[in-house]
Structures are given as C-alpha cells and as structure tokens.
Amino acid sequence: MVEKVHHPAPITVADRSGIKPDSPANKPGPTPGNANAPVKPLRDIKPDPRRATSPDIERGLHLLRQGKIADGEVQLQNGIDATVERLAGKQNLDYSQVKLATDIILTTYGGRNAKDKAAIVNAVNEYDKRIKVIVGLLHAKTNDEKKQATDVAVSYVTDSRPDRMSNGVRLIFLNGDMSKAGVDPATVKDVIAKIRPDRTHTKADRPRPRPENADAPVRQTENEPPIAFVVAFREIENNRPDNASSFISAGIWRLGERAAGKHDFYHDFAKASSATNKILDSYSGEKKEIKDALVKGVNLHLQMVVGDNFYNANNKRKLNRAMQTAVTYVTDTAAPNAMQPRERLAGLIEIMRNSYGLNEKIIADVKAQCEEKIAPK
C-alpha cells in the first residue's frame, strides 16, 4: 500500500482543474491525448516538494544509498506511479500526460546530488518506457493501435526532457527492451525506421573535437570508475549479475562517449571498438566476474553498432562496408575481448534479427562469410 500524503489539491494534467483562467496553462495549445503533440519543456517549473515528492521515492533513494539496488528500484517505481497518479489522475492516461507528470518529477529532484539525480533519471525513463511504450507495443492489435504505439515509442526517444539522457542512449535502451519483452520484430523494425538512428542526435549530441589526451586510459580519474560501474560491481560482488547488466552498459556508454564522441561511439565501428578496447584494458586487473560482465557489455554494444551499420546501408558500397565490419568484429582475436568468435557471431545474428529486423538473406550472408573465416583450417 502506498503511503498517502495529504496536500492541497494539486493542479492536474488530466482535467486541467485548478488552473486560473488567465494562467499560461489555460491558453490555447496542444491537447492531451496526442503522442506527437509538441510539449513545452518544463524548465520554468521550479522544484516543489508539495507537488512531486513521494515517501516511496525517498525510501527508494535511501535503499539505493545502502546498496539495496533491487528493493530501491521497486520503491522508486512505486513512488513514481503514485506521484503520476496524484499529478495527472489514473484513468486512461496517454503518453503526453504521463510525460508531463514525470517531467515535473525530474525537475523537482533536479537539485539533488549526482547519484540521486542519476537514480531518478533512470527510474523515470524506465517507468515511461515500461508503462506507456513497451506495454502499448505489446497490446496493440489493430493497425491504428500499432501506429499510435509506434508514435509513442518515437516520442519517448526524441522528445526533449529536463534530464540529460541522450536520444541515442534512449534508443539503444528501448531497442534492447523491445526485443527482451517479445515485441514483434516487424514492429521493432518499424519503430527504428521512424526514428532513424543517424538522425536521433540533437545539436548538443554532435561529435565534439577529441581532447588532447584522447589516447589516455578512459577511467574518470586514475582510481575513480563511473558511478554506474560502482553500482554494477557491487551487484556482482553480491551475486546479482542480472541487476548489474544495465549499469555495466551505462558505464560503457559514459566512457565510450568520452573517448570516441557521442555520435561515433554508436555508429562508427572502428572508433567504438578502439574505445571499448581501452575500457577492457583499463579494467583488466579486476576479478574474473567483473571482467566477464564488461566483456559481455562491450560485445553487446559492438553488436548494436554493426547492426546499425547494416540498417543504414542504403547502397551496395555501404552494404559491403558493413559486411567487412561484421567479419572484423567476429574474427578479431587480437583485441582484449575474451568472447570467442562463434559466440560473437551468435550474438550478432540475434541482434541483427531481433533488434534491427534485418533481411534473412543479409543475415545468412554474414553467417556464411564469418564462418568461412573462423572455420578450422
């Protein structure tokens, strides 16, 4: 049971009650219910504990600080759910209404310390994705429902928000979760086709000049890993490797973006491979379980980059280049990547088929060319 907090009746998103007649919110604008309707960024909303705080959110943050990751994440989701209900109502909410409410949560907790803010950002994105994106895609039956669900998925990735999670990161999270949840591969392909990974980056996401020390080790400082790795390594130490996987990915993205640039780390295999090799080198002294988790996370990222190359190969030259990239990824045993070639190939084929919905002929060609290279002489 979620603890109730008694406050004055809040302004609601669902019925717009409580809004003064001459307030900005009462002026003409997009009506709730349209996932593609432009939503004005909520940068002008100051943190307001009376509107968007929750005992469950606070308990969740406290549990995370104690290292109780699974319990903390559950409490955060409960708190977000209760807060969205308080702000926007609970009946038949569409994505735009949920987003307005969760944006208020992000803004309210924007003044917390870095770890708390990161936890809130991750929890809110997970909530929006789970409640309104994945569920909508799974339940859509008619063509109209599928189109609406796909539009919501596109909005989730591309809408501006008070948090700083990039569109590219949201897309990769969504891409993997759609496949894990069993969303139809054709629907996954349609979502990606509408988003087009090479166009998801805003001006702020474009590659920046490489720093002078770009070839230096990619830890934040000599002895300080990203916060995501701290959480992931703790989960591995506590024999909860499944809880660590998303944090491993987040840490890899953090370090990889710094080494290769945000755009190139997700689209340029050579630069992504170089950056991930540095990550593996930097953590080569860790215990086996941590190194194995890093290798798994690195390979998942590189498989996504190869899949992206094929997905965007709109002519023969690009297709040939993508094929060379796939063979290089599978057969390069000189890299500090402990995953065996056949295991890499199996993972790559799964990503190409389930996450990118690529043509079976292309997948068969990749399999044939890679197996020819790795077959025993």
259 domain residue, yes or no: yes
Q: Say what percent of the chain tops pLDDT 90.
A: 15
8 A C-beta contact, residue 168 and residue 237: no
| CA 238 – CA 293 distance, rounded (Å) | 14
For residue 40, what pLDDT is reported? 39
- From 143, 172, 203, the end of a domain falls on 203
- Whole-number Cα distances in Å, 78 to 74, 143, 229, 258, 349: 6, 32, 25, 34, 37
**Do 182 and 123 fall within a single domain?**
yes
Q: Same domain for 199 and 239?
A: no
| Segment 197-236, tens digit of pLDDT | 444 343 344 444 444 444 444 444 334 567 778 778 887 8
Asked whether residue 333 is domain-assigned, the answer is yes
**99 and 230: one domain?**
no
For range 118-135, the mean pLDDT: 83
Is 21 within a domain? no
Over residues 332-346, the pLDDT tens digits come to 877 677 788 999 999
Token pair of 357 as six digits: 């919905």
The token pair that represents 376 in the structure block: 């025993």
| Co-location of 212 and 199 in the same domain | no
The residue from 171, 203, 235 where one domain ends is: 203
Contact 214, 278 (CB under 8 A): no
Kindly report, residue by residue over 165-207, the tens digit of the pLDDT. Answer: 667 677 777 877 787 677 888 888 888 888 764 443 433 444 4
Decide: residue 335, CB within 10 A, 0-12 exposed, 13-18 middle, 19+ buried. Answer: middle
- For the segment 109-130, the average pLDDT, to the nearest whole number, is 83
Taking alpha carbons only, the member of 90, 51, 60, 99 closest to residue 78 is 60
**278 has a pLDDT exceeding 80:** yes
Residue with tokens 């025993």: 376
For the cut 60, the answer to whether the pLDDT of residue 12 exceeds it is: no
DSSP 113: -
Nearest to 249 by CA among 303, 198, 189, 197: 303
Residue 38 forms part of a structural domain:
no
Q: Are residues 183 and 81 in the same domain?
A: yes
Min mean pLDDT across 127-141, 155-169, 299-313 is at 155-169
Residues 74, 168 within the same domain: yes
Average pLDDT of the chain, as a whole number: 75
